[in-house]
Structure 1
Amino acid sequence: MPRRKDASAVELESLDLGYLALFVGQRVNERVLEDIHAAGFTGLRHAHGYVFQHLLSGPRSISELATLLEVTQQAASKTVAELEGLGYVEKTESEDARVRRVALSARGRAAVEKVRAVREALQKRFERQHGARAVEEARRLLADVLTSLDGAEAVRTRKVRAPR
C-alpha cells in the first residue's frame, strides 16, 4: 500500500533562505555538541559559546561579560559559575580585589580547539558530498546576505548576541 503523504509536512525547497540557514546552523550546532560531548567535553550548551567568544581574547570581569552579553551581572555570574564548575573557566588575578575576572581554563581552550576541529571536519564532509565549489558559493552567498542585513560587523568583532 502506498505511503500517504503527511499534509503538514514542510517541503524544504519552499522555505526562505533565512529559515533554511537557521535550520542548517541549528543542526550543525547540535552535531558539534554531540561530538564534543562524546569527546569528554560534557555539560556544554550552545549558549555557552556566547561567553566563550568574549573570553577568547583574554580575561574579562563579570561586569564586562554582562555588558557584552546584554544580560544582568547576576545572569552573567550564574553562567560563569556554571562554566567554572565544569572546569571550562577559571578566576584570574585582578588589580582590584572587588572585581572578579575570569578566563578560559586549559580545559576551556581545549574545548574551543575541539569545536574548531569538529566544524572543520563537517566543512570537509560538506565539500566531499556537495563539491567544494558549491560549498564556497553557498558560503559567499550567506556572507553577502549577512552583510546586506547589517549583521557582518557583529560576527567580525565577536559581538554576536544570543537569540532573544
Structure 2
Amino acid sequence: MREPVDPSALDLGSLALFVGLTAAGAVQADLAAQGYGDLRMSHGYVFQHLVDGRPTVSDLAARLDMTQQGASKAVAELERLGYVERLPSPRDARIRHVALTAKGRDAVAAARQARERLEARLRERSERAAVDGAGGTAFDVTRAVLVDLLGELGGTAAVHRRDVRPPR
C-alpha cells in the first residue's frame, strides 16, 4: 500500500496545478449539471479565441500551437455539438471563420457563472478563517499571491491576450 501524500509537503507549482485541475473539475461538474456535460476542459482553449473574434482554423492552429488537422478536428467536434459554426469570410467566400453559436455563447456564460459560484463558495469558506493583519481574507491573499506569481513567471501576458495554451 502506498503512503499517503501530505498536500502541505507539495512544492508550490504542483500544489497550484492540482488546485487548478481540481477547480476545473468542479466547474466541469457544474456545467454538466446545467446541461453542458459534453464540454471538456480542452474546449475552453478553443473558446477563448472565439469570445472576441472569428478566427480561421489556421489561425486557431497557430494560436493553440497545434497542427491544422488537430484544430480542424476540435472545431468539427464543437460544430457537431452545436457550439460553433463556420461562416464564410465577408471578403473571400473560400475562407471560413469559426464563430460561437448561441449555444456556444450560452456555454461561455454558464462557465463564467460556474466559476463565480465556485469562487463565492471558496471566498465564504476563507472569510470564516480570516488572515490576521494580512489586509484581507485568506482567499484574497491567496489570489494576490497567485496573480503575483503568474506575473513573475511570465504568464500574465498570455492571459491578457486570451492566449493560454494547453499543457504539452
- Taking structure 2 as the reference length, the TM-score comes to 0.91
Aligned to 2:125: 129
Q: Cα distance, 1:86 vs. partner?
A: 0.4
Structure-2 change in CA distance of 1:87 and 1:150 (3 Å): same
Q: Alpha-carbon deviations, 1:25-82, whole Å to 9, x = none?
A: 1011111111111211131110010000001112111111111011111110100000
Partner residue, 2:130: none
Select 2:159's aligned residue among 132, 146, 155: 155
Residue pairs, 1:56-95, within 5 angstroms: 56-94=51-89, 95=91
Residue 111 of structure 1 aligns with which residue?
107
Are 2:149 and 1:145 equivalent residues in the alignment? yes
Deviation of 1:106 after TM superposition, in Å, equals 0.5
Paired with 1:76 and 1:146, the residues of 2 have a C-alpha distance of 27
**Separation (CA, whole Å) in 1 of partners of 2:95 and 2:110:** 31
**From 27, 41, 55, the counterpart of 1:32:** 27
Cα pair distance change 1:107/1:8, threshold 3 Å = same
Per the alignment, in what secondary structure is the counterpart of residue 40 of structure 2?
coil
Unaligned runs of 5+ in 2: 128-135
Task: Determine whether 1:51 maps to 2:46.
Answer: yes
Secondary structure class of the residue paired with 2:149: helix
By how many angstroms is 1:85 displaced?
Answer: 0.4
* Partner-residue secondary structure (3-state), 2:41: coil
Does residue 116 of structure 2 align to residue 120 of structure 1? yes
Among the aligned pairs, what percent are the same residue?
49
User: What is the total number of aligned residue pairs between the two structures?
Assistant: 159
Q: Following TM superposition, where does structure 1 have runs of at least 4 consecutive aligned residues deviating by more than 2 angstroms?
A: none
Question: Please, which runs of 5 or more residues in structure 1 have no aligned partner?
Answer: 1-5
C-alpha separation in 2, matches of 1:136 and 1:107 = 33
The SS at the match of 1:9 is: coil
Q: Which residue matches 1:3?
A: none
Q: TM-score, normalised on structure 1?
A: 0.93
User: How much has 1:98 moved relative to structure 2?
Assistant: 2.1
Aligned counterparts of 1:139 and 1:42: Cα–Cα separation in 2: 28
Matched residue of 1:91: which SS?
strand
Contact 2:88 2:94 in 1 (8 A): no
2:131 corresponds in structure 1 to none
| 2: CA distance, partners of 1:59 / 1:156 | 18
The alignment yields a C-alpha RMSD, in angstroms, of 1.2
